[in-house]
Amino acid sequence: MIKPITIDDFICLVEPIPLIDVRTPAEFEQGRIPGAFNIPIFTNEERVLVGTTYKQVGREQAILLGFDLTGNKWSDFIKQALEISPGKKICVHCWRGGMRSRAMAWALELYGFEVYLIEGGYKNYRRWCVTQFEIPYQLTVLGGMTGSGKTKLLHQLQSMNEQIIDLEDLAQHQGSSYGTMNKMVQPTQEQFENNLAFQLKSLDHKRRIWVEDESLTIGKRCIPNPFWHQMRNTVMLNLNVPLEQRVKVLAQEYGVLDKDFLIECTERIWKRLGPEQTKNAILAIQEYRMEEFVRIVLVYYDKTYKTGLGKRNAERVVLVDIADNNLTVNAMKILESVNNINAERPI
């Protein structure tokens, strides 16, 4: 039996049902519901042919062409579905709940699957994502200059039963010119949003959620505006970490990276560093004087951070002095600071 189901119903299922996305590989690569499996009814090229036929000839001819193109594929579709869901319980969607998903649902139901068909398809999931970014969250921002150890502290807080969203992990980028660390590949903007919305829905909106201070863009990915404005207008705990401590941490982190990668990234910010400082930074990289390289580029990044900090409401910025690398002690200090704020006024 085929059971229509809304995207909200699917998201809220107590026991998850395996989800198959029958759109083309290109559509799936551009953006998908997290956890979905791709069983494309058409290849990228076949979808173009069917779409062109629909527009130029008509619906019935497009349907016939679709069956011609997929005629010998159906047994393989069913075999793939069985691998994904041996228990024969599965959820199906396409772009907007049209012919592709209905055809797949029909075939699987005929074989004996219990099929759930998402109404409105992936298009409705994208609408659902937008609504997640507009929900008011109890955000608390963890700020601090480059090298302050914000990401490690964010995850330390998570280990202490605090809720977090790691935006840099979702964006696969650490935010600076060097942010890919010569290994990370960013998701599409669409997929970044999909993953963020999916994580937000799993959190308790009535409890505090920690995020790291970010500019609007992380690499080439953009934080959804409604969510970013919440980040900018909430309390921020600004970590005050000594310069030399930050330099040592960053020198260790970046010292293992390929020199050519570091030089290429440094050349991208030469207008901000200036020609002389860019030359000195590249020379330091070549001679493996990593602490000197870090000191040079931190002049630019610290200045940029201070500019952003100046645009915040000063009454909502709380300074937290961090004097060592003990994650547990520092996380406790952060929690003590935010709890003191709560005692004085609601966040």
Residues labelled catalytic: 94
3-state SS, the chain, equals CEEEECHHHHHCCCCCCCEEECCCHHHHHHCCCCCCEECCCCCHHHHHHHHHHHHHCCHHHHHHHHHHHHCCCHHHHHHHHHHHCCCCEEEEECCCCCHHHHHHHHHHHHHCCEEEEECCHHHHHHHHHHHHHHCCCEEEEEEECCCCCHHHHHHHHHHCCCEEECHHHHHCCCCCCCCCCCCCCCCCHHHHHHHHHHHHHCCCCCCEEEEECCCCEECCEECCHHHHHHHHCCCEEEEECCHHHHHHHHHHHHHCCCHHHHHHHHHHCHHHHCHHHHHHHHHHHHCCCHHHHHHHHHHHHHHHHHHHHHCCCHHHEEEEECCCCCHHHHHHHHHHHHHHHHHHCCC
Q: Which among 171, 193, 198 has a CA at the least distance from the CA of 16?
A: 198
Largest CA distance in the chain: 72
**260 contact partners, CB below 8 Å, separation of at least 6:** none
104 neighbors 67 (Cβ within 8 angstroms):
no
